[in-house]
Structure formats: C-alpha cells, structure tokens
Copies of this chain bind each other. A is one copy, B any other.
Amino acid sequence: MSYQAPLRDMQFVLYELLKGDEILPALPGYEDATRDIMDAMLTEGAKLAQNVIAPTNTNGDRQGCHYDPESKNVTTPDGFKEAYKQFAEAGWTALSAPVEYGGQGMPHTLNTLAEEMMCSANLSLGMYPGLTHGAVNALIGYGTNEQKDYFLPRLISGEWTGTMCLTEPHCGTDLGLIRTKAEPQADGSYAISGTKIWITGGEHDLVDNIIHLVLAKLPDAPGGSKGISLFLVPKVLEDGSRNPAFCGGLEHKMGIKGSATCVMNFEEAKGWLIGEPHKGLQAMFVMMNSARLMVGLQGLGVAEAAYQVSLGFAKDRLQSRSLAGPQAPDKPADPIIVHPDVRRMLLRQKATIEGSRALAYFTALNLDIAHTAEDPAEREHADDMVQLLTPVVKAFLTDEGFFCANDGLQLMGGSGFTQDWPLEQLVRDARITRIYEGTNGIQALDLVGRKIGMNGGRALKRFFAMLDGFINDNPQAPNLPQLKAAIARLQKATMWLMQNGMSDREQAGSAATPYLRLFALTAVGYFWSRMALTAQQQLDAGSSETDFYQAKVHSARFYMDKLLPQTEALLTEIEAGKDSLMEMAVGQF
C-alpha cells in the first residue's frame, strides 16, 4: 500500500486555521513547538509512516498474529518488530511524554498529527504504541514516585509496551459487573486473578516486557462500578521472573489482524495498586478519554488512506464517456473521475476527512491548552471543549471513517472488493473503531447524558458562542446561510433534549445517536466555513497555491450542499421522540 502523508492539509489546519504555531509555543513547556521544529518532525514522521510503517500493512493483514498454546507466546506478522523498533528509536513513542522521564515534551497536538499518519499507514501496528500512551497517562496521573521512576522511562522509550485490561467475557460496557479479584499480599502487592478479553497487545513479541493496567475488585469492594480498583501488573517482574499473566488465546477478527487481541488469564499475578482503592474507574477514564480521541484519529487515518487509493483509481480507470462529451478523446474511454456519481463518492471522502481533521486537531489543541495554559479561565474553557468534543470526535470520525472507506471501495467497483487492492482491508480495519473504547452509541450517551449538561451546560454554551462569534465577526464567510440553518437545528434539538431528556432519560437515550451526528455535522460545518474563509482570503491576497485554496473553497461548498442537509432529517428524527423506539414489546421484535 502506498501512502503519502497529507502534510500540506495538516499544516493548513494546524497553522493557518488553528494558529497552532502561535498558540503552542506560547504555552509553558512547549516553547520548542515552533513551526520550524514541528514541520521538521512532521516531515520525519511522514517518511517513517510512508517508508517503514505502510509497507508492513498488507502482509500484517494476510499473515495476522499467531498464538502458540504451548509457550503461550504471540508472534506478530513479519516486519512488525523491525518497524516498531525504528518507530521507537526515532523517538515517536516519547514524542509528547514528559522530559523528566525521557520524553520529548512536545504538545499532544503534534502527537495527534503523528498518530493520524501512523494509523493511515498501519492501524494494527499503530495500536501497540497507542495503548502504551494510556498506561503512561494513568501512571503520570496516579502512580507513586517509585512507580513512575521505574516504569515510565521504559514505557516512554518504547522499550516496553502497555495495555488496558477492562473487559471480561460477561461485561464490556457495564464495567460494574467485573469479577477479577485482587487479594492483598503481605509485601504490599496484590494477587490478581481473573480473565480479561479484547486485550490489545496483551501478549506479543515486539518488546520484552508488557505492563498491564488491570481493573479488579478488592475483597472489601462495594458492588457495582464504585468498587473497582486499578492495578499495574507487569509481564516480567523486576527480578526477571515471569508473572503469571498469560495469554490464553487470540480473537479471530474481521480486521486489524496484525493487532494481537488477547484473552488474558491472570493467575494470582503480582500487581500493585494505582491510585486509591475503589477509584480505579476514575483513573481508567483518564486513559479512556485520550484513547477516545486517538480512536477518532484512527477512523480519520484509515479514511485518508482509503481516499488516496480510490482517488488514484478514479484518475486512472478508463470507463465510459463523460455525460458532457468525451474528455479524453485520444483514449478508449474517459477516466471515471469525470462522472458525477464518482465525484460524489470522492468528495464525500475528501470533504468529510478534511473537515473532521479540523475538528480533531482543534480538540487536541484544546487538550494542550487545558493541560498547560497559565490562565485558569483559559484552561477551563479549553477543557470544556475537550470534554464536549471528545465523544463527538470518537463517534463521528469512526462512523465516517468507515463510511468513507466504503465509498472508496464502492467507486472502485469489483476491484475494491478484491485483495488486489487495499480497500477491502481498510474497510475491515476501520470497522472496529466504531466499537472499541466505548461503542459509538455509548459516546452519544456520554454527550447527551453528561457532557451537554455539565456545569449547567457551560461547555455547550461556550461552543455555541464560538460559532455565533465567528458568524458575527465574519459576515463575508462563504456558505453562512447553510451553516446558520444547521446551527439553528442543533439549538432546536438541544432545546428539545432539555425539555424532554431531563425528565425522561429514555427520551435522551432515544435522541442520543442522531443528536451526536447533528452536533458533529454542524461542528464540521463551522470548521469548513472557517477553512473556506481562510482559503478565500489567501486567494484574494494572490497566493500562488491557487489549486490548493480553490479546492478548500469547493470542498466547503460540497459539504454545505450535499452533506450538511442531513441535519434536517436528524432534527426531525430527534423531535419524533422515543415512542416508536420503546413501544415495541420485546416479544414483538
């Protein structure tokens, strides 16, 4: 699979749209994140993604991971180990980690851009270091100094990797049901016993040690989700002995076959409490929240890879003549990119990917501001945006990543369905992103059930204020009437939720998924209007990058004309309420 990192598009969003090159270096600790340095890093990251990571993707799918029941070891596909080694040695596992533990101390935003590239190049391989981030964040937030000093440098350097062990066979979404036990030991450690499933990178051969972060219950734990604690369980203990945390088998999956998805059996494995007893879920949600942003980026990254391949196909494949008359009269037929319906599928991908990228990078930038800005009000505002937008980024970018990859496959016809092209793998790989780290239905419930009501609706008010501020300040921005109509619909839907969802949680649950989608389409519409304005200003100023900026203006118009109208139907769907969902008795299905 060939992949070209869309550096120019990424720079457009990070610098021209979001002013990341002004905002980031002004944040305490990120003084080095100048445009020159970020550009140099992105260029290196692009080379690595294109030349080292991407070439491992197809074989990773074909060969998959293999489990040896004898040794309980897992072998990753050929080439993964070498590619991972280069990735770690070049410092990418350490990019946004604290300098005091060996990290490079760069902004999370930069890491977000790097992750997008890695996920485009090979989603399966990208997951091993991706999960390690979560373990690092949990340790930084809740570990003791001793734990930090010992584990963090090794995880940050990529010498070891990390996992998140949540799900059990009988519980995924509902973690209150977990049964894994932690018995206190005389030496202050705990004996962890239980079975976890869906453990990404639970066992593999990329590194010598794996640090599991495991949810379990202490003997005196209260019932439900308030009785869960978090433990750190290394595969190999400090004295070099093997901890009894063994892989019991691999899942056979539809996609991401190069990612080892393990059943993990903890057989009185030695572990240490992270944070306070019974407060493990809180620590886990710290990991989950940044993981959710990352999964959104996975959806985006796979969609970008799919778009590039299907665009190349549409330019090369000759089939039928343009409806406006032959465009390539010297050839037996015209390239299919001349056909309106093929353009519809290409532009759906292009406009969705670029608009979603703006939304995702904006959220990542706010994460950096929320963590490091000096002004508490600024931090609070940024954190509000992160809280509000994280479920939106996760759900919308993964739903759309899958749909866009499917559009890419579709426009390639039968070729898209064969293994001769990467599309069918990209579609299969993208499919999981809508499910893990909280299904997209759970993201929607998080948005309507927690985020929009948080602090009296403060985050949502600030979001609307940002949109209104843009419209008021920029009456000359393209496509404003369509954007205004979408915002009005989102406000109407929000009002409906306030009036109906507060008193009846099933009304909120019924509206959740269409509301998240309406929110996302409107948010992306706002970024498209801003991007079109930025591009138009460049064109008006006589920029030499005519094609690049014109494409932004055209894409914005396509988005407003052809995608944003979905908000009409979503509002109607929400306002229809819960009755037609809830009135069917179980026996009538």
Could you give, for residues 433-444 of chain A, a 1 whenever the CB lies within 8 Å of some chain B CB and a 0 otherwise?
Answer: 011100111001
Q: CB within 8 A of A580: which of B332, B512, B554, B573?
A: B554
A413 in the interface (beta carbon within 8 A) = yes
Q: Which residue in chain B gives the minimum CB-CB distance to A314? A: B589
| A198 contacts across to B, CB distance below 8 A | 414
Instruction: State the copy count for this chain.
Output: 2
B339 touches A253 (CB 8 A): no
Q: Which residue in chain B gives the minimum CB-CB distance to A554? A: B584
B417 touches A341 (CB 8 A): no
| A570 contacts across to B, CB distance below 8 A | 565
Q: CB within 8 A of A513: which of B344, B347, B561?
A: B344
A534-589 interface with B by 8 A CB criterion: 547-548, 550-551, 554-555, 557-558, 560-562, 565-570, 572-573, 576-589
Say how far A373's CB is from chain B's closest CB, in angstroms: 36
A582 touches B439 (CB 8 A): no
A557–B345 CA distance with the chains assembled, in angstroms: 32
A278 in the interface (beta carbon within 8 A) = no
A409 in the interface (beta carbon within 8 A) = yes
Most B-side CB within 10 Å, residue of A340, A402, A439, A585? A340
A522 in the interface (beta carbon within 8 A) = no
A413 touches B428 (CB 8 A): no
| A323 contacts across to B, CB distance below 8 A | 505-506, 508-509
A550 touches B588 (CB 8 A): yes
The A interface is mostly helix, strand or loop, or mixed, namely helix
A579–B553 CA distance with the chains assembled, in angstroms: 12
B551 touches A580 (CB 8 A): no
A415-435 interface with B by 8 A CB criterion: 416-420, 424, 427-428, 431-432, 434-435
Q: Which residue in chain B gives the minimum CB-CB distance to A62? A: B252
A458 in the interface (beta carbon within 8 A) = no
A436–B412 CA distance with the chains assembled, in angstroms: 12
A579–B311 CA distance with the chains assembled, in angstroms: 20
B589 touches A252 (CB 8 A): no
A431 touches B435 (CB 8 A): no
A482-523 interface with B by 8 A CB criterion: 505-506, 508-510, 512-513
Q: Which residue in chain B gives the minimum CB-CB distance to A442? A: B341
A346 in the interface (beta carbon within 8 A) = yes
A565 touches B557 (CB 8 A): no
Could you give, for residues 391-418 of chain A, a 1 whenever the CB lies within 8 Å of some chain B CB and a 0 otherwise?
Answer: 0000000000010001001110110111
Given A324-B505, A569-B569: A441 and B557 interface contact (C-beta under 8 Å) = no
A295–B507 CA distance with the chains assembled, in angstroms: 38
A198–B413 CA distance with the chains assembled, in angstroms: 11
B569 touches A254 (CB 8 A): no
B167 touches A414 (CB 8 A): yes
Stretch at the interface among A152-160, A172-180, A297-305, A467-475: A172-180
A435–B561 CA distance with the chains assembled, in angstroms: 26
A461 in the interface (beta carbon within 8 A) = no
A576–B583 CA distance with the chains assembled, in angstroms: 37
A–B Cβ pairs within 8 angstroms, 20 of them: A170-B318, A172-B319, A198-B414, A252-B420, A323-B505, A340-B506, A340-B578, A341-B509, A344-B581, A410-B439, A410-B441, A414-B436, A547-B587, A554-B580, A554-B588, A557-B580, A557-B583, A558-B580, A558-B584, A565-B573
Which 9 residue pairs across A and B have the least CB separation, nearest first? A254-B424, A561-B576, A340-B509, A565-B572, A323-B505, A551-B588, A341-B441, A558-B580, A340-B510
